[in-house]
Every structure is written in structure tokens, then in C-alpha cells.
Structure 1
Amino acid sequence: MTTATDTTPSGPRAAGVHWDLSPLVADAAQARERLAAALERSRAFEARYRGALATIDGPGLAEALAELAAIDNELSRVGSYANLRESVDVTSEENKDLAAAVDRGMVEASNALRFFDLEWLALDEDRARELHDAPEVAADRHYLIALRRFAPHTLSEPEERMLAERSPAAVSAWQTLFGQITSTLEVPFDAGDGEGEQPHTIDRLLALVRHPGRDVRRRALETLYEGLAPHADTLSHCYDTLVGDRLAMDKLRGYGGPMEPTHLRNELPGPVVEAMLDAVERHYGIAHRWFRVKAGLLGLERLELHDQYAPIGEARAVAYPEAQRLIRESFGRFSPRVEDVARGFFAESRIDAEPRAGKRGGAFCAPVAQDASPYVLMNFTDKMDDVMTLAHELGHGMHFTFSSAAQTALSMGTGLALAEVPSTFAELLTFDHLMETESDPSTRRSLLSERVEGSFATVFRQTVLARYEQRAYALRAEGGTLTADRLSDIWFAENEKYYGDTLLLPQGYRLGWSYIPHFISTRFYTYAYVFAHLATLALYARYREIGAGFVDAYIAFLSAGGSATPDELLGGLGVDLSDPGVWEPGFREMERMVEAAEAG
């Protein structure tokens, strides 16, 4: 396999920068063998421990949890391997077959292991407290306690088994169809670079919204929406089917609303999340101020959508090897231990950065397993913004690396909202380093404006996405089918609320909802970004205030993984979620960013 590390150059657009999955599993055949072994181990676990929780003691429970963690870890490794393979080539029949086999295997394993969770949830409070307070299970105490919050929404074992059996056809198939359409979509486009019309994926077209040429930006968006239009009905049907299924499952489980499962996974109270979204909407004026200023800087009376991310100043190109160096330096200034984490990703070929047809769009960092190293997928297009994306995903990598070293396979993971804090913090580290070391004035102006607009995209735009989901679920709950036109109406209305009269939206943008994978994969995922960004701005202000004294506490936070609640973990760093003004430091920081960009 041809790869690029921190010592070998890559070509344009990170050519040849592919990951090496062999440390996880040798090949598809071995993945199937390991899956079969994990299934056999799951069945043996069931035979040994079914009915045991009623009489088990602390040491016995610790032994059971260790075996459960080992099984979970092996399933995660094999499942991650299959998912990572498919994410870089959704057209491969071998990848599809392996993914289908793993999906079936996961259902079978879940069916064998489900009894343990159900028996744990069925214990009365006194018995459960006796067990989770036993010193032998201290490492997984929070895991056990947190699991019980799902008790009111858990069905009988036969019912849970039946629902799991239907999941691949009822859920995964629609997600796969969405992924195949959006990953393989290519449309011809002339970017004005002398190469004439070339096939462009969704990600390549979206990257052009930061092109310095206004006509290129406008045509790129128009081409994107024209390319999506023939698929709008299919994409909306995928979403309508998934939302309808989720609402039906919510009714069966007795959830109070479609956001409750996400809140429980994030361990965040619904009122805290709603208050946060309300606070963001009250501060839309910060964005309006910037949009008016930016229109003036661009010599326009009013921005149009294709002007939203127009460069202020022209940022220089950044080749992939330089991006590696910049990130290592950024992380190293904070902590040599953090730099070592980044070095491992590059040196061990755990990043797939080259854009290509059939590869999933966007970016992610996969934790893989407690005894394996994480992997990053992104689509590097030689932009300065790609440096920030890479830093973001490696921030997740920091979290996964430190938590897997300190926690068990059951306790290393966190809810979505807390998981986004390290990635956002890593972006801030990289931005500060770039502003201190970059000498080109035009690039500095570009960095300042992109930092402002990145915060807006994370806080304001993700709130728009959350509000869109709320309205879509409400419409479906009332019996309305989520057609492309109805989704477009909701999408446009929520975006108009954000942009106000400061930015003109084209009619093509009515399809802006259609290619966003978070709606398909994980409902209400997007508010996690809002929470994380505002919380991280507050944390970063403390880091600037106390400097090196913050580092050890922050690495301890990363190492804690999911071993405590978000309010406990953030409280240890000085962020109090019970404070009604908890979000205000974040908004003040955003205002400071706008002022700096105006002055720059």
C-alpha cells in the first residue's frame, strides 16, 4: 500500500494518502473468522451468566464485566474494520458483503448478550447499588449506573431480540442507500483552473464555496443542487422511512419525545439542551453583524449564500506534509504527550486523506477498539481549512487514545456532546499556533475570518440543523410524510431565521438538507457540536488564563473517557452546566473573534 507519512511527501490533494488497516485485521476472510470466534464467545458468556446477577457478588461481577468488555472489544474491532473498508469504497462488492455479514453477526451477538443488560436493569435499586458500589467494579461503576437510565425504555428480551433482528433491513439498508447515492454522486464542473470540465463529488463542489472567484462559487453551488435534484425524492424517502421507524420505536419504548434517546446517550437533561439552543438563537445577531461587515469588505450591498465563506484575503495552499508539521507543532506546544498521539497517526498510516470517487464524504475519527489505535478519514484538498479539519479529527484521536489507555472497553466512550470537546479544543490549539507563526498577511486575514465563520458554522448552523430536525420529527409524528418539498420548506424557513435580511438564499438551497449524513446516521447529532463548541471556548479561556497548569487537568479529562457524567467531568475543569449563564463566555469569545476579524 502506498502511504504518506510525516517523512514522505504526497502529491496534490494528498495523493496516495491511504490508511493501512492490516494492524486491525489481515483481510476480509480473517474478519469473518474473528467474528465467528466472537460470536462463539458471546454464546458461552450467555450460557455461563444468564440468571447469575440475582446472586452474584462483587468479584464475580467484575469477572463478568471483564469478559463482556473483551467480547465488546473484539466485536468493535471487527465491526470497525468492515466499516472503515466500506467508507473508502462503497461500491466494492466484497466490502458490501463483509459489511452485511458483520451486521448480521452484530445482531446475533447482541441477541446472545442482551440478557445481561436486561437482568441488570431488572434488579431493584438496593441490589443494583450493592453491586455497583462493590470496589471490584470501580472501573465500570459509571457504566453500570448510566445503563440504568434506559430502564424505563427497555422492553422484554424477546421483544428486544425481535427489534434487533429487523434492524439491518429496517434501518441499515436505508442508511446504506443514502450513503451510496451521496458518496458516488459526481457531476461535471469547470472550476476555471484550465483543466476544463472534470467529475466533481459533493465534497469537491462544497470545497469550492471558499474559492476566491465569485462566479466559481456561485456555479459550484448551482451545480451541486442541480446534481442533487434528481435524487431528492429518494433521499427524502430514506429520511422519511428512518424518522417514521424511529418514532414508532420511541412509542414502543415510551420515550417522551424524539430527542430523549439522544439526551440519555449524552447524559444531558433536555431542559439544558433546549436552553442552550434558545440562547444560540438569541445571539444570531452576532452573525448578522459579521455578514454586514463582510459584505462591505467584499464590496457588496448584501451577501448571497455563495459569498458566506468567500475568502477575506487569500490563504495560501497547504500541502499535506506541511499540514502534518503544523499540527504536530500546535499539539506539541500544548503537551509533548499530545504531539506523540498525532505523530502515531501519521507514522502508522492511520489516516485516509485522498479524495476519490466511491469514498465517503466528510471526515471522522473512528475509535475502533480499546486495544487498537483509532483511524481518521477526511478528504484533503490542499486548503488551509483542511488543516483545521485534520486537527479536529486528531482531537478526537487524542481523546480515544488517552481514554482507551486508562479505561475499560465499557467505560472509554462518551456521549456525542462531550466527545466533541477535545476535537474543538484541538482546532483552537492549531488556530492559535497558525496566528502566531503565519507571516503572510493575506493568509492571516483569511484565518481570522475563517475562525469566525467556523464558529458560526459550529454553533449557529448546527442549531439550525437541530431545529430543522425538531420540525421534521414533529411533522412526521403528526402523520405528515416527509417529502422533498416539505423538507425543503422546513429547511429554508429555519435558515431564513438564522440569516435574516443579511444574506440572500437561492432557491436551489432548498435542497441543502439532502446530503447531510448526520440526519441519517444519528438523530439530533448536531446539537453536540453546539454544546462542545461553547463549552470548549470556556475551557480554552481558562487555558489562556492559567497556561501550563491547565494541561495535566485536561489530559486527565481526556483519560477519564466516559467514567463520569458530563457535568462532573466538565465541572472538574471549571464549567458548571447548572449555571444559567454557562454559555455566555462562549458568546463573548465569539464576539471577540468578530472584533479581531473586523480589525484584521
Structure 2
Amino acid sequence: MTSVPKRSETAAEHHWKLEDLFGDQASWDREYALAKEQIKQAAAYEGKLADPAQLKACFELEDELSLHVERLYVYANMRHHEDTAEPTYQALSDKTKKLSVETGEALSYVTPEVLSLSDEQLDALINNSDLALYKKTLEEMRRQKAHVLSKAEEALLAQVGSVTQAPNTIYSMLSNADLKFPKVKNEQGEEIELTQGRYIQFLESKNRDVRANAFKAMYDTYGKLRNTMAATLNANVTKNVFYSRARKYPSALEMSLFGDNIPKEVYTNLIDTIHKHLPLMYRYMELRKKLLGVDELHMYDLFAPLVDEFKMDITYDQAKTTVKESLKPLGDAYLNVLQEGFDQGWIDVYENEGKRSGAYSWGAYGTHPYVLLNHKDNLNSMFTLTHEMGHALHSYYSDSSQNYRDAQYTIFLAEVASTLNEALLMDHMLNKSTDPKEKMYLLTYYADQFRTTVFRQTMFAEFEKIVHERTEAGESLTPQDLSKIYYDLNVLYYGKGMVVDKDIEVEWARIPHFYTSFYVYKYATGFSAATSFAKQILDEGAPAVERYLGFLKSGGSDYSINILKRAGVDMSSPEPIEQAMAVFEQLIEQMEQLTK
């Protein structure tokens, strides 16, 4: 079938069972009405939260309300994602967004009121046995207290909020709406307009001229706006420094790490350990140069295919079988839950007209998780399946083992379970493969994940650290300064075997993540933690599996670093990154063997 089928034309066995969340529209409506009633009850506790019994009742109401809103919101949006053109569920989705805002407003007094209590009162509440279930919540509030200002100052900062969103908004408009790129010739010699979406496709071309021209066109376009882009990025950095000083943090970096209670060493260790292992990156670049058969390796060669496209046709059923086989090291208990997910309507499998693109794992506490796919019969889709089921099983184990308040894990932990599944699938496929061409294809696929997720994201993280420290020291950040910092980092990370083209110096201008500051390091730490877990599971077996399942069951019951540490991965030390680098080195060695 060449055209995309309508939802009604796809098999029900490949649809998720949202009835497990709400049996029908009437039950959704009843829960919505109940939530609306409970919102009215929220005001009853205002001004009374110093009393443990009143505080407990308030927290209980908060939990009930929050769960109702979560269930309503998740259901409405997942129905909407089945067919985004269908207006009924678009309206339901909008309705729950408003409900969510109403709930937030009705309970907005809780944190400020608790924080207005004296340290002695707060300590008494934290140690009150009747509030044991909320001990972590109260401890977290106390931890935040040092950075919460007076009522008048908080009101002022809230008003500044809409102004400080400006850098991100302006950047987004510039980069996505106003920037117009020239036309570039594709492999067939046709003039095609360059876009953000098509850029990587051009860089993946076998034709080197196509790659070089697209690369030059992209950075020439950004280069023309370098002054505006620098002013916008500068404004964002200044905003972060303003907030960190207003809220009495030692630095903008430490402010961003505070939310997840991540020690600064996690960030600096990542950069230092990657620096130590940069010779591995240089070695990979030499190998890339040899495989491409070029005298000089340029920045536009980084995405060029190293092996002829190795076509792997993998049906959904084959993908499920292979994923399950690859996850055998995690033990029968894990595999049984995985099978339940495959069989019991957790997954919406194929594309249909109007369906949301991409893939995700989502759900509401108290019901099994759900996974949205747009499955194609290829290797990428099989990796997507195991990735999303990693998230789903993390949620399943967290929800089954923790109360509602402690079940939600942080973004810092979120990518660990999904990436671990990918690592085990890759290990399984490499061990099973007998075809040198297939093996090389898989090794390249995996090595490039290390390059893009660990090395490149760490380079971004280092750039953010440098530009914020310069601003904090009162130094300037002209377009020339930003370009020099960025260019020098590329030279450091890719090494002398690589021709670091001058055009790359303005790449900082096209990285949207720089407007969600100090976020990208989580990609590198998550990937490293997952690789470390995979290595321990494959080397040690049962004891490592037991620790890993303990990690999945922990949800958000403790700080992320502690949860990982208990499971055998200490991200405040260089060890997990060292273990990831050992795996990367093995990949390079296998690739070198195959090219002899």
C-alpha cells in the first residue's frame, strides 16, 4: 500500500487499548466532573498548613487531583494523537490543558505557605510520623528555601518571566521562520531548497560535492546573521546569570543542576574524562577517512555513509522476537512484562492518516504504560521499539513499586533504561552477525551514536560552560569570541587528522539546545550510565541484573545520583564514562579488524 491508510483501515490488533484507561467517554466525563469539584476544595486549607493534619489532608487532595488530571490529560492527548485531524479529541485535549492550569492555580499557595514557616516548624513537619509519606516533598521544599526570595521579590521575578523568554522566542522565530536557505543540487543534479530538515539528508549523500555545498550553504546563511544570533545567545546567557545571582546560587551552572540535586562534579567529570579519551575520537576519524577513501576528512564528511546502504528488512513480528532475545540477560521477570506489553495492547504500531509522527512512551499512574510507534520494517524501527519499551518498563516498575508521589523519575534518569535496551540489542546483533558487511553496518551505526551522543553533546556542554563563565567574569562575548571558542573546541574534539573547516565556527548559531541551557550533558551521562549498566549485566549476570531492576523500581523516590549509585553506577566518578569509552574502543578495534 503506497498511500497512508485511514485509522479505520488499520488492524485493531495493532492499536493500543486506551479502554484500559477509560472504558468510554462517559467515564472520562465523570472523572472530569470529579476533578472540577475537587479544585473547589483546595482553598479550604489555605492559611492552615502549619497544622500537620491540615497539611496532610492538603497533600492528599493534591495527589488525588493531580492523578485525575494526569489520567484525563494522557487519555485525551493519546486519542488526539491517533488522528490529529479529528476535532473531538483536539477539543478534549484543550479542555484538559485548561483543567491542568486551573489545578495549578488552585494549589499555587501550598509551596510558598510551607516555605514561609520557620526552620523549626519545617523540621517538626519533616519529622512528624503522620507525614512520613510526604517527608521527601518537605525535605525538597526545605532544600529550595535558601533560593526562594521574599513575596515581593518573587512577584517581581514572576513578572520578569515573560521578558526573559524573549531570547528563546526570538531565536526560534529567526531560525525556524525567517531564515531562508539557498537551493542546493542533489545527487540527481536537481536544485532543491535547503531546509533544517533536509540538511542531514544532504550530509548523508554519497556525493561529496552535494555534502560540501549543503554544508557551505547552511553556514553561509547563519554567518550572515552572526551579529543578531550572538546578541540573542548573549541575552540568554545574561538571563541565566541574572537568575542565578538573584536566587543566590554560586553560578548559572550550579543553578541548573540544583533542581535534580546533581553535584557540579558530574558535569566537570564528564568533560575531563572525555578530554582524556579524545585520542579514541581521533582514531575513529582516521578510520572514517580510510573507509571513505579520501585524502582529507572534512566536517561535511561526518555523516557520509561508511558502508554501502545495507538493507535490513525487519517486520514488526521479527523485531519483537529479536528485541526479546536481546533482552534475555535481564531475566525472566523482565521478559514476562515485556511480553505482556507486546500482547496486551500497550503499543500503537503503524502509521495511519493524521497520526502523530515519531515515537514515545507515555501513560498515567495506576494503568500500564503506552507506546506510540510509526513502525517501518527496518533496523531503525527495531531500535525505536526496544528504546520505547525500555521507557515503558521503567515506568511499569516505578509505578508498581512506588506511591504516586515518588513514582515519577527525572529526565536525568529517563534515557538510561531506553539506551540500555539499545545497547543490549546492539550487542546481540553483533554477536549473531556473520556477514562482514552487516557487521560493519552495525558497528558504524553504534560508533556514530558514541560520536553524536557522547562526544558531540559533551562538546556542546563545554561550550555552554565556557560562555557562561566568561559572562560571570564580566568578559565580552562578541560574535568573534563565540566563533573562536566554538572553532577551537571542534579542533580539540576532532583532532589533527580532521580538516576543521572555517565555516563550522558559526554552528553555535544553529543549536537550539543552547536556549535550554545546561541540558545536553544529560544525553552524554544517560548514554554513559546505560553503557555501564549493559557492561555490568553482560559481565556479571544475576547480581548486576538485580541492581538494575532495583534502579527501575526506584522511580523518583530519591535523588537521581543516589538511585544510580545504589544500582552500581556512580555518575559523580569518572568510572561509568570510562566504561563507555572501553566499549567505544572495542567497536573501533572490531572495525579496524574488518578493514584490514
TM bracket, shorter-chain basis: 0.7 to 0.9
Structure 1 counterpart of 2:590, from 586, 592, 596: 596
After TM superposition, the structure 1 stretch with the greater mean CA deviation from structure 2, 236-245 or 431-440, is 236-245
Shift in Å, 1:464: 0.5
Structure 2 counterpart of 1:56, from 52, 61, 67: 52
Structure 2 counterpart of 1:539, from 530, 533, 550: 533
- Letter in structure 2 aligned against 1:264: F
Q: 1:81 to 1:595 in 2, by over 3 A?
A: same
Contact 1:6–1:347 under 8 Å retained in 2:
no
Q: 1:466 to 1:576 in 2, by over 3 A?
A: closer
Q: Distance in 1 between matches of 2:180 and 2:351?
A: 20
Structure 1 counterpart of 2:450, from 455, 458, 461: 455
Contact 1:103–1:168 under 8 Å retained in 2:
no
Shift in Å, 1:270: 1.0
Is 1:44 the counterpart of 2:41? The answer is: yes
Q: Distance in 2 between matches of 1:351 and 1:401?
A: 23
Q: Distance in 2 between matches of 1:90 and 1:171?
A: 28
After TM superposition, the structure 1 stretch with the greater mean CA deviation from structure 2, 477-486 or 466-475, is 477-486
Deviations 1:56-94 (A, max 9, x none): 14xx54443232223334555677789989999999999
Is 1:2 the counterpart of 2:7? The answer is: yes
Equivalence for 1:330:
326
Equivalence for 2:261:
267
Structure 1 counterpart of 2:423, from 425, 428, 444: 428
Q: Distance in 1 between matches of 2:312 and 2:378?
A: 6
Structure 2 counterpart of 1:71, from 65, 80, 83: 65
Contact 1:380–1:386 under 8 Å retained in 2:
yes
Q: 1:260 to 1:22 in 2, by over 3 A?
A: farther
Shift in Å, 1:544: 0.8
Shift in Å, 1:112: 3.8
Deviations 1:310-365 (A, max 9, x none): 33333325567465664455346643245247637985428879999xx89xx774
Contact 2:237–2:471 under 8 Å retained in 1:
yes
Q: Distance in 2 between matches of 1:96 and 1:497?
A: 49
Matches within 5 A, 1:544-559: 544-559=538-553
Structure 2 counterpart of 1:401, from 391, 396, 417: 396
Shift in Å, 1:258: 0.9
After TM superposition, the structure 1 stretch with the greater mean CA deviation from structure 2, 365-374 or 254-263, is 365-374
Contact 1:476–1:482 under 8 Å retained in 2:
yes
Q: Distance in 2 between matches of 1:186 and 1:376?
A: 36
Shift in Å, 1:291: 1.2
Cα RMSD between the aligned structures? Answer: 4.9
Q: Distance in 2 between matches of 1:170 and 1:257?
A: 18
SS at match of 2:48: coil
Shift in Å, 1:428: 0.4
Contact 2:323–2:382 under 8 Å retained in 1:
yes
Equivalence for 1:15:
none
Structure 2 counterpart of 1:492, from 487, 490, 495: 487
Equivalence for 1:349:
348
Q: 1:183 to 1:534 in 2, by over 3 A?
A: farther
Contact 1:82–1:99 under 8 Å retained in 2:
yes
Deviations 1:244-280 (A, max 9, x none): 3333222221111111233222322113421332122
Structure 2 counterpart of 1:115, from 109, 112, 116: 109
Equivalence for 2:581:
587
Equivalence for 2:520:
526
Shift in Å, 1:578: 5.8
Contact 2:175–2:510 under 8 Å retained in 1:
no
Q: 1:252 to 1:383 in 2, by over 3 A?
A: farther
Q: 1:279 to 1:331 in 2, by over 3 A?
A: same
SS at match of 2:259: helix
Instruction: Give percent identity, aligned residues only.
Output: 26
Q: 1:235 to 1:42 in 2, by over 3 A?
A: farther
Shift in Å, 1:285: 1.4
Larger radius of gyration: 2
Is 1:295 the counterpart of 2:310? The answer is: no
SS at match of 1:493: helix
Shift in Å, 1:526: 1.3
Q: 1:587 to 1:177 in 2, by over 3 A?
A: closer
Shift in Å, 1:595: 1.7
Q: Name stretches of at least 5 consecutive residues in structure 2 with no aligned partner.
A: 1-5
Equivalence for 1:12:
none
Q: Distance in 2 between matches of 1:38 and 1:516?
A: 41
Is 1:131 the counterpart of 2:128? The answer is: no
Q: Distance in 2 between matches of 1:418 and 1:128?
A: 29
Q: Distance in 2 between matches of 1:327 and 1:3?
A: 29
Q: 1:173 to 1:505 in 2, by over 3 A?
A: closer
SS at match of 2:485: helix
Deviations 1:271-302 (A, max 9, x none): 34213321221221111122123322332333
Shift in Å, 1:562: 0.9
